[in-house]
Amino acid sequence: MFAHLRPQADDPILVLMRAFQADPRPGKVDLGIGVWRDAEGRTPVFGAVKTAEERLWRTQDTKSYVSFAGDPAFHAAVGDLLLGSVTRPRAVTATTGGTSAVQTLLALSQVARPAAQVWIPAETWPNHRVLAEHLGLATRAFTYLAPEGTGIDREVLLRDLAQAQAGDVVILHACCHNPTGIDPDPELQAEIVDSLARTGAVPLVDCAYLGFGAVPEADAAFLRRLASLPEAMLAFSGSKSFGLYRERVGLALVLLEQPGVVEAVQSQLTRLNRVNYSFPPDHGARVVTEILADPALRTAWEAELAAIRTALSANRQALAKALRARLQSDRFDGLAAQSGMFAMLPLGKERVMRMREDFAVYAVGTGRVNLAGVTPRTTDRVAEAIAAVLR
């Protein structure tokens, strides 16, 4: 049965990680995989998570199954975090991380409308396309960045989105766009909402970096605007915002216009869980619920999130400043105003490879860099590498 199988192409980020690990040069710099790291290169467990886990360990008296859709207290806690005072009929399920939230919502869209096209930003998390194609959904790209790579091409983006049809799916990033770090401003956000209202296409909002750009309330602003549409889908990942990467914390939420539709959508979500994994993981979800429900823990979590945000922002400013000094140009000044963990340096694959070969500075081939890796210790080396390959 299996002898004819050929290996899949490796994920470029994993290839990059392996090459980095095998590189013997001292002072090598990893700007690859999308994981937060502190200045010492560690990804510590949040203190609030440790406390919540300790409480769970003391009080939890069973690990028996919860339910196909997970714990309603988790649905409510993350629903409130994302949507604040927006109260709307909704169907919701816990998932295995943000990836499976996106996958579940795409699969739900396909059940509802097999001919739905999935509109994906030209620059995005590569898995969006992989997941849609794996399901056999038709995909369309919509323009995101303008050609010079330093801002959104508003006009062309809106022109592309105007072609979406009722019941198509439009993937949008809630905040801290991966890989560009460039989010729509409030005016463009409103125009995107208007466009979706006109076409009847349904947003699938991917929220994987809440709190990495601004306080969670502010990072949720675009998402809440989109929640005013008759129908909207939200995919939440707890990997970055709670540092629970390997625990696989995710939530898929569908906002509906008519309360009468909730039961059917909820049962479709449940069926998707059954065929995928029966019961979603619960430990990480329960930790998140505990943190959000307890005012002291929540304050502690928000402070830890703020520290990450401050460090990322400082790393950005330092890189922009170092590049200005080295290049004697304002070409990279925009970096400082961008948001979240990533930036996409318009360098081209060849220059990115030269940074790897000549300076042991490892960025993804698209030019995406994880700003967590641009620390006070590495900024000069990164800036020097970028300046050298641009010379």
Partners of 145 in the β-ladder = 152
For ligand PMP, the closer CB: 242 or 359: 242
d(CA 306, CA 308): 5
With H, G, I as helix, E, B as strand and everything else as coil, classify residue 370.
Answer: strand
Examine the residue annotation and report whether 153 is marked as an active-site residue of this protein. no
Q: Is 125 in the site for ligand PMP (CB under 6 A)?
A: yes
Beta strands, E only, 273-320: none
Q: How far is the CB of 102 from ligand PMP (least distance, A)?
A: 6
Does residue 296 carry a catalytic annotation? no
Interacting residue with ligand PMP among 93, 104, 178, 370 (CB under 6 A): 178
DSSP string, 1-30: --TT--PPPPPHHHHHHHHHHH---TT-EE
Of residues 199-218, those binding ligand PMP (CB under 6 A): 206, 208
Which of 32, 34, 203, 213 is close enough to bind ligand PMP by CB under 6 A?
A: 34
From the candidates 119, 125, 183, 363, give the one annotated as an active-site residue: 125
Quote the CA–CA distance of 340 and 308 in Å, as a whole number: 10
Active-site residue, from 240, 318, 383, 385: 240
- Region binding ligand PMP by CB under 6 A among candidate stretches 47-55, 96-104, 139-147, 266-274: 96-104
Active-site position among 160, 168, 206, 219: 206
Amino acid sitting at position 269: L
Binding flag, residue 144, ligand PMP (CB under 6 A)? no
Residues present in the chain in total: 391
- Report the alpha-carbon distance of residue 186 to residue 373 in Å, rounded: 29
Cβ contacts of 22 within 8 Å, gap of 6 or more? none
Active site residue 125: yes
**Which residue in 32, 250, 340, 367 binds ligand PMP (CB under 6 A)?**
250
HSE on the CB side for 262, CA within 13 Å?
12
Task: Give the binding range for ligand PMP (CB under 6 A) out of 94-102, 254-262, 308-316, 361-369.
Answer: 94-102
Q: Which residues are catalytic?
A: 125, 206, 208, 240
Binding site for ligand PMP (CB under 6 A): 34, 97-99, 125, 178, 206, 208, 237, 239, 245, 250
